[in-house]
């Protein structure tokens, strides 16, 4: 989509009568209006006038509705911890107890589905749009809960977890993208920050319901979330970015009008048309950067190649610090560690601390540099894992009945400090470090790798705990976190408040 076509359709708002001095200045040709002219004229026109107020209420409604599906994904992530214990007991709804191997497959099918979902919905969002792809993503989630509710064999649970994973991959790809493309600069920061918070709250909700309500009631209640989401989300528009990418200028204008609280029948405010023009400029710049060279050709250059390597290391540390495995197998971990509380009570505490840590991250990320906060979070996570490992080692040789509170304290500290820095910063630094010309492909590659590692981790973590013992796994996670901290300190440039050009120059050096 060429910017000139967009300009020709909306530049009429800047053509004033001959008596309008601000527009008929000597520097403006009214027949050829450039992007810079539009911005300059807009500034001149509104210099002594009150700029029309834009109501961003619908942006909040759309973002919150999209995050209902994120909440449902968090519920699916948290489903494993309380449910595995039920499935391994005499209370199993399958009428038989599952084995350790089957339990590990149930846990690992979600990230395997997420790997597939990232690739499928990443492609689909560029073909049919962010809105339709995100709406369709609710159906694998609905199907997942139907499989779980009606499961008579473990194979039904495998299918249900895999389809829940497809939705998970779609949500982690599309919700941040959709929210960023519908929101103004003033609202984008807050609306983008609630994504991980919502996912983690969903996990907490599942831990509570899974601990205190029946398997059947919990599954049926959780089915309501994707259904409600699918019913409500239909009333929201496609993003203006996608519509302009496909030459649908009028629909993009209507989308912006809705998102900014204007009715279709009302004449479009000039402020919204200016916004439309700014988006059109970004769309053309992105299209121009993509056509210059292929992804493989870009990787032959030093800065894109180094940026991708940094992104790969960040997602590896994100998973191999162990936090995702802890959340999926929280109850089993506390049962193995001899916690003074019941496994499910301990899991609820951990999930609540994770939600709190996610909330804290919104505050600290604004106030600290990326490298300092990431390194600090890695150091804290490493200390917590080390202490947990030492406690497990000592417990193998001594009676530590009076110290069985140590496991929940260490785990709580690890989850909090990682949720406040290491985990959310992975995605923030990834988006900032990758140059625009490889950002789309690079992000897809790194996200797919993240879910592949998560699949391997959840598949083999229960087996490793059974064979090597829990404390050995803690030492492994501690070592990876230490290496990640060292890597970021010495090889990753600071990205906060830095332009893309400045980051590329630092990568070149």
Which distant-in-sequence residues (6+ apart) come within 8 Å of 500 by Cβ? 435, 436
Which distant-in-sequence residues (6+ apart) come within 8 Å of 131 by Cβ? 178, 233, 236, 237, 238, 239, 242
Mean pLDDT across 303-331: 94
* Same-domain check for residues 342 and 450: yes
Q: Give the span between the Cα atoms of 257 and 272, in whole angstroms.
A: 7
* Same-domain check for residues 59 and 45: no
DSSP code of residue 11: G
* Same-domain check for residues 440 and 479: yes
Mean pLDDT across 276-282: 85
Least confident of 193-197, 450-454, 456-460: 193-197
- 418 vs 407: which has the higher pLDDT: 418
Query: Percent of the chain having pLDDT more than 90?
Result: 60
The whole model's pTM is what? 0.86
Mean pLDDT of the chain: 86
End residue of a domain, out of 245, 272, 292: 292
Tell which residue, 59, 51, 436, has the closest CA to residue 274: 51
Least confident of 99-113, 383-397, 426-440: 426-440
Q: What is the CATH number of the domain that holds 429?
A: 1.20.1250.20
Report yes or no on 374 lying in a domain.
yes
* Same-domain check for residues 309 and 279: no
Per-residue pLDDT tens for 51-90? Answer: 444 678 899 999 999 999 999 999 999 999 999 999 999 8
* Same-domain check for residues 370 and 457: yes
* Same-domain check for residues 168 and 69: yes
Least confident of 71-75, 225-229, 357-361, 375-379: 357-361
Report yes or no on 249 lying in a domain.
no
Q: Give the span between the Cα atoms of 438 and 436, in whole angstroms.
A: 6
Q: Give the span between the Cα atoms of 81 and 241, in whole angstroms.
A: 39
* Same-domain check for residues 67 and 26: no
Report yes or no on 302 lying in a domain.
yes
pLDDT at 341: 78
Give the model's confidence band at 18: pLDDT under 50 very low, under 70 low, under 90 confident, else very high: very low
* Same-domain check for residues 366 and 481: yes
* Same-domain check for residues 118 and 26: no
Give the orientation angle of helix 215-233 with respect to helix 138-149, to 10 degrees.
Answer: 160
pLDDT at 38: 53
pLDDT at 292: 62
Are the C-beta atoms of residues 206 and 42 closer than 8 Å to each other? no
- 475 vs 39: which has the higher pLDDT: 475
Domain that holds residue 356: 295-509
Mean pLDDT across 227-248: 94
Q: Give the count of domains, the chain.
A: 3
DSSP 36-76: HHHHHHHHHHTTTSPPPP---HHHHHHHHHHHHHHHHHHHH
pLDDT of residue 11 exceeding 70, the answer is no
Report yes or no on 72 lying in a domain.
yes
pLDDT at 247: 87
pLDDT at 43: 52
pLDDT at 17: 34
pLDDT of residue 317 exceeding 60, the answer is yes
pLDDT at 25: 36
Report yes or no on 247 lying in a domain.
no
Long-range contacts of 27-35 (CB under 8 A, 24+ apart): 33/7, 34/7, 35/3, 35/7, 35/277, 35/281
Query: Percent of the chain having pLDDT more than 70?
Result: 87
Per-residue pLDDT tens for 27-56? Answer: 434 344 455 545 554 554 444 434 444 678
Mean pLDDT across 256-273: 75
pLDDT at 5: 59
* Same-domain check for residues 269 and 359: no
Per-residue pLDDT tens for 115-167? Answer: 999 999 999 998 999 999 999 999 999 999 999 999 999 999 999 999 999 99
Residue 345 burial by Cβ neighbours in a 10 Å radius (0-12, 13-18, 19+): middle
* Same-domain check for residues 167 and 228: yes
Report yes or no on 409 lying in a domain.
yes
Report yes or no on 254 lying in a domain.
no
* Same-domain check for residues 30 and 140: no
pLDDT at 499: 82
pLDDT at 31: 41
Report yes or no on 323 lying in a domain.
yes
């Amino acid at each position: 989509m060429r910017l000139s076509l967009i300009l020709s359709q909306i530049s009429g708002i800047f053509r004033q009568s001959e008596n309008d001095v601000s527009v008929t200045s000597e520097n403006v040709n009214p027949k050829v209006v450039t992007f810079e002219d539009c911005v300059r004229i807009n500034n001149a026109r509104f210099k002594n006038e009150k700029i029309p107020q834009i109501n961003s209420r619908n942006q909040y409604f759309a973002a919150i509705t999209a995050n209902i599906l994120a909440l449902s994904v968090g519920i699916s992530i948290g489903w494993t911890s309380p449910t595995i214990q039920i499935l391994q007991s005499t209370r199993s709804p399958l009428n038989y107890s599952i084995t350790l191997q089957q339990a590990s497959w149930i846990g690992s099918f979600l990230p395997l589905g997420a790997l597939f979902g990232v690739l499928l919905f990443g492609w689909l969002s560029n073909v049919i749009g962010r809105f339709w792809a995100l709406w369709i993503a609710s159906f694998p989630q609905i199907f997942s809960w139907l499989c779980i509710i009606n499961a008579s064999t473990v194979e039904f649970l495998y299918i249900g977890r895999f389809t829940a994973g497809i939705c998970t991959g779609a949500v982690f790809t599309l919700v941040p993208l959709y929210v960023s493309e519908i929101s103004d600069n003033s609202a984008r920061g807050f609306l983008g920050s609630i994504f991980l918070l919502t996912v983690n709250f969903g996990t907490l909700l599942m831990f509570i319901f899974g601990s205190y309500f029946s398997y059947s009631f919990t599954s049926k209640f959780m089915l309501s979330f994707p259904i409600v989401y699918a019913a409500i989300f239909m009333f929201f528009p496609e993003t203006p970015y996608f519509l302009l990418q496909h030459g649908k200028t009028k629909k993009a204008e209507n989308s912006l009008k809705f998102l900014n609280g204007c009715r279709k029948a009302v004449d479009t405010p000039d402020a919204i048309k200016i916004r439309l023009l700014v988006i059109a400029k970004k769309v053309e710049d992105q299209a121009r950067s993509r056509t210059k060279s292929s992804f493989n050709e870009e990787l032959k250059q030093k800065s894109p190649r180094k940026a991708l390597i940094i992104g790969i290391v960040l997602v590896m540390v994100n998973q191999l610090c162990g936090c995702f495995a802890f959340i999926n197998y929280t109850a089993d971990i506390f049962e193995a560690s001899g916690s003074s509380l019941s496994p499910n009570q301990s899991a609820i505490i951990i999930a609540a601390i994770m939600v709190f840590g996610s909330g804290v991250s919104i505050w600290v990320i604004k106030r600290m540099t990326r490298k300092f906060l990431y390194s600090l979070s890695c150091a804290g996570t490493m200390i917590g894992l080390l202490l947990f490992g030492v406690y497990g080692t000592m417990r193998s040789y001594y009676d530590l009945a009076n110290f069985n509170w140590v496991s929940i304290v260490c785990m709580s500290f690890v989850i909090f400090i990682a949720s406040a820095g290491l985990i959310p910063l992975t995605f923030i630094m990834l988006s900032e470090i990758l140059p625009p010309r490889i950002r789309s492909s690079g992000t897809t590659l790194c996200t797919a790798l993240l879910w592949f590692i998560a699949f391997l981790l959840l598949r083999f973590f229960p087996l490793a705990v059974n064979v090597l013992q829990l404390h050995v796994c803690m030492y492994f996670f501690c070592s990876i976190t230490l290496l990640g901290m060292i890597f970021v300190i010495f090889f990753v440039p600071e990205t906060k408040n830095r332009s893309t050009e400045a980051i590329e120059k630092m990568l070149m050096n």
